[in-house]
């Protein structure tokens, strides 16, 4: 069976942590990486984040006989850039990173997935973003909805422009929906 790279993206409150934890617990020989951006949101931050993700993709290329799950990567930076959360355009860097991921050496060795988690019922964000743990940033319903819509647009774009990246739109409104979708898309890897 091929090595699996699963990149899970989506807005705050959609259940990425629950989903990535579940995959990690049910897939053999799997590493889970939780990534965040960098502190520098200015122009100098662009070079730093670009280097971070270029090296990350090189790292992916050199891992053998291991499944990798990523809770956020450079797709988040692009969504945040599109929504004006950063002081620079990330798009040229995003496009280069996407091409690098799509054309990794030994691409036939991997099943690469971009999973966009979302809520079909956007009103669920109201209860989902109320957190009982430390908040690194303030979560707002409208922000999550705007991010979700941008991530779903991105899913369409990635599907049209890449050849080796499988795009999964993962609705996560209810526990039953979660269980059905996780089996549908990834159940074959739980054996």
- Position 136 confidence tier, pLDDT thresholds 50, 70, 90: very low
% of residues, the chain, pLDDT over 70: 95
Query: Tens of pLDDT along 2-44?
Result: 899 999 999 999 999 999 999 999 999 999 999 987 888 788 8
Q: Identify each DSSP E strand in 110-164 by its residue range.
A: 110-118
- Reported as a single tens digit per residue, the pLDDT across 61-95 is 999 899 999 999 999 999 999 999 888 899 999 99
d(CA 106, CA 109): 6
> Half-sphere exposure of residue 143, counting CA atoms within 13 Å on the CB side?
12
Give the closest residue to 158 by CA, choosing from 108, 106, 116, 107: 116
Strand, helix or coil at 149? helix
* Nearest in space to 34 (alpha carbons), one of 19, 55, 48: 19
The answer to whether the CB of 69 falls within 8 A of the CB of 24 is yes
Q: What domains appear along the chain, each with residue ranges and CATH number?
A: 3-190 (3.40.50.300)
């Amino acid at each position: 069976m091929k090595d699996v790279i699963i990149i899970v993206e989506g807005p705050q409150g959609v259940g990425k942590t629950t989903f990535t934890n579940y995959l990690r617990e049910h897939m053999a020989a799997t590493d889970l990486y939780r990534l965040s951006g960098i502190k520098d949101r200015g122009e100098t931050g662009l070079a730093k984040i670009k280097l971070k993700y270029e090296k990350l993709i090189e790292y992916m290329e050199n891992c053998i006989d291991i499944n990798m799950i990523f809770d956020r990567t450079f797709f988040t930076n692009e969504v945040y850039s599109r929504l004006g959360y950063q002081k620079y355009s990330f798009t040229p860097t995003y496009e280069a990173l996407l091409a690098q991921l799509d054309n990794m050496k030994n691409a036939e060795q991997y099943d690469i997935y971009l999973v966009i988690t979302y809520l079909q019922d956007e009103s669920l964000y109201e209860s989902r973003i109320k957190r009982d743990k430390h908040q690194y940033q303030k979560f707002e319903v409208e922000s999550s909805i705007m991010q979700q819509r941008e991530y779903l647009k991105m899913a369409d774009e990635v599907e049209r422009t890449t050849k080796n990246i499988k795009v999964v739109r993962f609705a996560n409104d209810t526990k039953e929906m979660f269980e059905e979708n996780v089996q549908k898309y990834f159940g074959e890897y739980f054996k």
